Chains A and B, each alone.
Chain A
C-alpha cells in the first residue's frame, strides 16, 4: 500500500469517526424529543413501577447527563440493555439478528452484483436486440416495484399457489425466496447502471483497437470493457451492501426471517432508546465503512482516480 493511500485511509477513518459521533448526538437528542416513552402501553404500569424502571435505565436523570453516560458506556463497548426485551443486551440482539440478515444479505448482494453485471453487459453487447429490450423491461419493472409487493407476490405464487418453497425463513429452503426478494431491486439497478456504462465504454477507441487487433469478443467484453464499466456500479454497491446486510423489515416480516430488519422499526415504535441508538450506530458505522471501501475500490479499478 503506498503512503498516499494509507494517509487517505487514516483521514477517512477519522472523518468516519466524526460522522458517527455526529449521528449519535443527533439521534440521541432527537430520540429523546419525540413524545412518548418506553414504559407506555395500553395498560400503563403504576407510577411506582414506572419510577423504578426509569431509575433502572437511568431515564430519571437530565437528558444531557444521560447523553454523557451513554457516550462513556459506548467507549467501553457497552451498548446497554434493551428496555423492551428485559434482560437482553442491545449488542447481543443486534448480533443475533445481524448473523441471519448478513448471511442472506451477502448472498443477495452477490447475486445482485453477479447477475446484474452479466445482464447489464449482455444488454449492452446485444444493444437494441430483443435480449436488450427484455432485460430492460424486466429491470425497469423490478426497480420500480417495491419489495413488499415482490415479497408478497413470491409468497403467494411459490408458497401458496405452487407450494415449492416454505413460507418460513427458519426452515430448510426457507431463505431462497427472501434472498430473491432482497436481490431483485439492486440487481435490476446494477443491470441498468452496467448497461449504460458499458454502452459508453464499448464506444471508446481502445475497444475498437482491441477488436481490430483480433482480441476475442469475450475477452474484449470481460477484460477490457466490463472492468472499466464497473466504476459507477461500485459507487452504488458500497451503500447497497450496507443496507442489504442489515436486513429488510418487509422481506423479513413476510418470510418470518429472524433478522435485524425489524429492530430498526420496532425500536422506534417501542421507544427502546438503547436499541434505537444501537441500530443507528451499527448501520451508520457499516455505511461509512462500505463507502470507504468502495472509494478504495475506485482507486484499484481506475488508477487515474486521485484519492487526495
Chain B
C-alpha cells in the first residue's frame, strides 16, 4: 500500500508541474497607473481603416489613426491633423471645395513624414471598388466618386489638401473624422497587401497610440511619441483584450482584470444597475430595432396594395413597445414612433425625432405613450374591420380575425430576438392571427431576409454618421439593404405614393426621387424637410414597424477618468487616465 501511495504522490507532483507549465510565461492583467486592460469586442475582422465597418474595429482604429478632423477631450468635433475646419468655398463650376491645411511636422508612428498626398492615396484606395471596402460608399459625397479618381488634390509642398464636393453636405466634417477617411501609409500597404493591418510590425498609424502586439488574444497599444498631440495622451499603455462571451466579460470585470466591458449578460442588467450605479452606463445609440414586412409577401396575395399597407399598420399598432422595452429589452431602450433614430440633429439644433410625424411636432407616426396603447389597439381593430369589409377575405368577430392568412416571422438566434418573436406571436395570436416563428442561423437568416423570402422579419439598423440620410437612403429600390423589397416585383408598378404635389406615383417616382433630391439639395432646411417627407412615405407603407431606439450598455470602472463614448458606439480612451 505504501508503494501505491508513493505512486499517487508522484502523480500529484506531475500534475503540479503541468499546472506550473500552464501558468508560466504570462504577464499579469488588470491595470497599473500606466496601463489599462479593456474590452470592446472579440478578435476583430480587420483593423484596416478603409476596410473596417465594425464598431469595435473603429474603436481600435481611432486609437491608432487620426484624420483631418476628430473628437476632442469633450467629445466635440475638432480639427486634428488639419489646423482648422476650413470654410466651404463655391467653385466656378457650381461645386463646393474645402481646403484643409495640415499641421507642421506631422509624422507616421515610424517617424516618417505624413503629407496631404497620403490622404489622396488613402481616400482613393478606400473608394476604389477593387479594395472592396464595405464603407467605400462614404466617399460618394466627393466629386469623382465612381470614376478612377476622386477630386482630391494635394498641394506641391504636401501641406494642403483640396477636396471638391458636387454638393456640399452638412456632415462632411463628421465624415472626415470617420475611420474610413483616415490616412494609411502607402508603402506599407502596397508592400504587404491586406496583411499590413494584421501584424504589429507593419501596422503603421498616426494616432495617439501605436500597436506593439497584435495576437488573437489582445491588441497592445503604447503611446505614439510622434503623435501631434502626444502631450495630452496620459496613459502609456492600453491593452484591448479580445473576448465576446458576456459571462466571461462580467467575471473579468468583477475581478478587476478588465476596467471596461462593452457588453453585459442581459439577465444581469437589473442587478448591475443596482449594484454598480457609478459604473453601469446606458447611452443613446444611433440605431433602431424594427420589424420589416415584405411588401410582396405572397401570404397577403389577393389584397390590394392599400389593404396590405393597412394590415401592416394595424399589426404595428397592436404592439406594446413599452412592454418590449421594459420587460424584454430591459436596457433603457426607448419606444420608437418613427424609423429615423434619436440623436440626429437638425440644422436648428433640434433632434430630427422632435419634428417627426406627419404634423412635424415629434409625435411620431403613432403614439407610444403607455396610456394610448388601448386606443392604438382599438384603432388597429377598426382598420382590420375596414379591410375585412373591403376585401371580404376575412371577418372580425369579438375582436378576433377569422380566416386571416397565416404569417411567418423570421428571426435569427439570440435570446432577445427570440423573446420578441414569441411576444409578437402571442400578441397577434390573441387577435386570431396565426404567426409561425422561424428561427434561422445567422447567415441563412440574412440571406432569406435579403432575398425577400419572408412575411415578417426582425430587423435593426445602426446609422453611420449624424445625418438621417444614413437611415433613409437604404430604402431606395436599388439598395442592398432594401429588405422590404420596395419598388421591386409587384410593388414596382404600384402607383399610390405622392411627392411634390403629384399623386399616383410609383416607389421609384416618389421615394427614390426624394432621396435623389436630398442628395443634390444645397439648402439644409429643404434637405431636412425632404427627409421628413421620405420618412412619411416610408411609414405610410406600414412595412417598417419600428420597435425601439437602441441603447449602448457598458461598464466602466471608477478607476478610469476622462473616457467618453460617441453615439456611433465608438469608445475614446486616448484622453483617459487610470487612478
Contacts and interface: CB of A to CB of B under 8 A. Distances in A.
Contacts of A174: 23, 26
Contact of B248 (A107, A216, A256): A256
A40 B447 contact: yes
Nearest to A42: B460
Highest count of chain A CB atoms <10 Å: which of B28, B255, B462 = B255
Interface in A61-97: 81, 84-89, 93, 96-97
Given A35-B444, A43-B134, A167 B7 contact: no
A115 interface: yes
A170 B215 CA distance: 11
Contact of B22 (A44, A104, A166, A269): A104
B227 interface: no
A26 interface: no
Given A40-B450, A49-B132, A170-B29, A176 B248 contact: no
Nearest to B448: A35
23 contacts: A36-B446, A42-B460, A44-B450, A45-B132, A52-B129, A52-B132, A53-B132, A85-B46, A87-B194, A87-B198, A89-B195, A107-B21, A111-B15, A118-B8, A155-B247, A166-B29, A167-B252, A170-B26, A174-B26, A179-B19, A253-B245, A255-B248, A269-B443
Interface in B247-261: 247-248, 251-252, 254-255, 257-258
A176 B18 CA distance: 9
B46 A254 contact: no
A96 B447 contact: no
B237 interface: no
A84 B45 CA distance: 6
Instruction: Kindly list the 4 A-B residue pairs having the minimum CB-CB distance in the complex, ordered from nearest.
Output: A36-B443, A87-B194, A44-B480, A167-B251
A87 B217 contact: no
A159 B450 contact: no
A42 to B, nearest CB: 6
A37 B444 CA distance: 8
Highest count of chain A CB atoms <10 Å: which of B18, B131, B217, B248 = B248
Contacts of B129: 48-49, 51-52
B444 A218 contact: no
Interface of A: 34-37, 40-53, 56, 81, 84-89, 93, 96-97, 100, 103-104, 107, 110-111, 114-115, 118, 152, 155-156, 159-160, 163, 166-168, 170-176, 179, 216-218, 221-222, 253-256, 258, 269-271
B530 to A, nearest CB: 23
Contact of B7 (A42, A84, A218): A218
A162 B160 CA distance: 60
Interface residues of B, number: 67
Contact of A254 (B19, B195, B245): B245
B3 A216 contact: yes
B248 A171 contact: no
Highest count of chain A CB atoms <10 Å: which of B3, B4, B137, B462 = B4
B154 interface: no
B193 interface: yes
Contacts of B198: 85, 87-88
A219 B441 CA distance: 56
B11 A171 contact: no
B425 interface: no
Nearest to B258: A168
Given A35-B444, A37-B447, A86 B22 contact: no
Contact of B51 (A51, A86, A118): A86
Contacts of B217: 100, 170, 256, 258
A115 B443 contact: no
B48 A86 contact: yes
A253 B45 contact: no
A163 B255 contact: yes
Nearest to B216: A258
